[in-house]
Amino acid sequence: MKYQRPKGTADILPGESEKWQYVEEKARKLFKKYRYEEMRTPIFESFEVFSRTSGETSDIVTKEMYDFFDKGDRHITLRPEGTAGVVRSYVENKLYGPEFQKPYKTFYMGPMFRYERPQSGRLREFHQIGVEAFGVENPALDVEVISMAINLLKSFGLESLKLSINTLGDKETREQYRQALISYLEPFESELSDDSKERLHKNPLRVLDSKDEKDKKIVENAPSILDYLSDESKNHFDTVCNLLDSLGIKYVVDSNMVRGLDYYNHTIFEIMSDSKAFKGKWTTICAGGRYNGLVEQLGGPETPGMGFGLGVERLLLVLDADENQLPIENNLEVYVVGIGEVTNTETLVLAESLRIQGFSVERDYLNRKPKGQFKTASRLNAEFTLTIGEQELNEQKANLKYMESGNEIKVSLADVKNNFANLAEQVKKEG
């Protein structure tokens, strides 16, 4: 029997995990500047949290849910996306209360699960970094969230990005548009894919999101939602466009764009990359929008919301393809060279003491000859080596070497344990 990871999952190994940490760290720092704080919600939720919000004709609900009944016969789902869980938590913890500032700004990062056909940039367990902001209608918030997403991607050195925006308007808008879209699509009904036939009357906006090539052709000439906007919706969208202009953010309006989830309204956006990683095909890395109404749907008071989700795997595909050298630091400060088995204990004591003093320390565990140990020390790019043999042990001394200059000094073990920083300074200066 050979064990393998489940289809569509990945092991993130050392060498790779540093990149993840780098990306997450950068995101945390940027979110702090925008005053977003982290929320950690459960990885599984009641099935209804997602089924009621994503939309019954969405890909997520129709085919992609990882759901099961637990031993207490509760219908559970591994979260397919981050927003619904955050909204559930927002309502349950009454974060809309007067003691909290508006907008209530929060971010999350972690694994999401969708039963998809695995391929490059599409997994069954994948990771998102996302933000949500609650309680503000002002289109300035929409634009700030979009700008934050772009700044995040730019901070990783991503250059060739495309921002697509659209509006899904308010309820009134969508009702008008829905009728127009059905009228347009009905004559093509027999030519549509099975999914789209199914969705035509239930949720025609979903047809616009079809990945079927024939559907895409049909949809090309569909009426534009922009011609059906209510005054309020038009006003909101125009303001968003003007504010993007004010920040000098370039965008294209794609009136056929809808999102994979049904809860969006007003502003929606996608940030795409045509990196080599995607063979030049514009691929969405980050997507989001407004979801006024979602908080109410999950039992809270009427509260507007705005957010985005960024696919970490897709971002890393771009970073790898661009040979974008991430400034990842993994410097070894001290390698303790212990010569002979008699030094085993002292090597342990020294290494531990140095680590407690704040240095990163490696040693040999295999009783190897000095030559082999020094080789490892330079392969690991150690800044210093601290060498101790039987004689040094008897004298309670060690040899400290600054690798860059090759300068060496004799140091007392007591000094190493008391104040290594001092000795490090000394051997560097003399070199």
Name the helix (H) or strand (E) containing 363. strand 361-363
Task: Kindly state the tokens that stand for 52.
Answer: 């009621």
Tell me how far CA of residue 180 lies from CA of 175, 186, 282, in angstroms.
9, 10, 29
Q: Is 150 in the site for ligand ATP (CB under 6 A)?
A: no
Select the span of 160-168, 311-319, 356-364, 366-374 touching ligand ATP (CB under 6 A).
311-319
**Is 52 annotated as ligand-binding?**
no
* Max CA separation in the chain (angstroms): 94
Q: 3-class secondary structure for 379-390?
A: HCCCCEEEEECH
Paired strand residues for 334: 361, 384
Total chain residues near Mg ion (CB under 5 A): 1
Nearer to Mg ion, 149 or 261 (CB): 261
**Alpha carbons 55 and 71: distance in angstroms, whole number:** 27
Q: What span, in angstroms and rounded, lies between the C-alpha atoms of 89 and 96?
A: 11
**Measuring CA to CA, which residue among 328, 341, 427, 429 is closest to residue 386?**
427
Contact pick of 53, 166, 210, 284 for ligand ATP (by CB under 6 A):
284
Q: How many residues bind ligand ATP (CB under 6 A)?
A: 19
Tell me which residue has its CB nearest to ligand ATP: 311
The binder of ligand ATP chosen from 116, 137, 198, 274 (CB under 6 A): 116
Q: Which is nearer to ligand ATP, 28 or 122 (CB)?
A: 122
255-274 residues in contact with Mg ion (CB under 5 A) are 260
Total residue length of the chain? 431
Residue 88 contacts ligand ATP per CB under 6 A: no
Is 317 one of the binding residues for ligand ATP (CB under 6 A)? no
For β-strands 252-253 and 161-167, DSSP reports them as: parallel
150 binds, among Mg ion, ligand ATP, none (CB under 5 to 8 A by kind): none
* Phi, psi for 337 (deg, rounded to 5): -95, 115
Q: Is 309 in the site for ligand ATP (CB under 6 A)?
A: yes
CB nearer ligand ATP, residue 290 or residue 363 = 290
Q: How near is the Cβ of 283 to ligand ATP at its closest, in Å? A: 8
- Contact at 8 Å (CB) between 322 and 276? yes
285 counts as binding ligand ATP under rule CB under 6 A: yes
Contacts with Mg ion, 212-251, as mask; x by CB under 5 A: ----------------------------------------
Q: Is 114 annotated as a binding residue?
A: yes
Identify the three-state secondary structure at position 171.
Answer: helix
Q: Which two tokens stand for residue 358?
A: 């704040």
The correct pick among 287, 317, 361, 393 for binding ligand ATP (CB under 6 A) is 287
The alpha carbon of residue 397 and the mean position of all alpha carbons in its chain are separated, in whole angstroms, by: 49
CB of 191 to ligand ATP, least distance (A): 22
Q: Is 252 helix (H, G, I), strand (E, B) or coil?
A: strand
Residues within the interface to Mg ion (CB under 5 A): 260
Residues within the interface to ligand ATP (CB under 6 A): 81, 114, 116, 121-123, 126, 128, 259-261, 284-287, 309, 311, 313-314
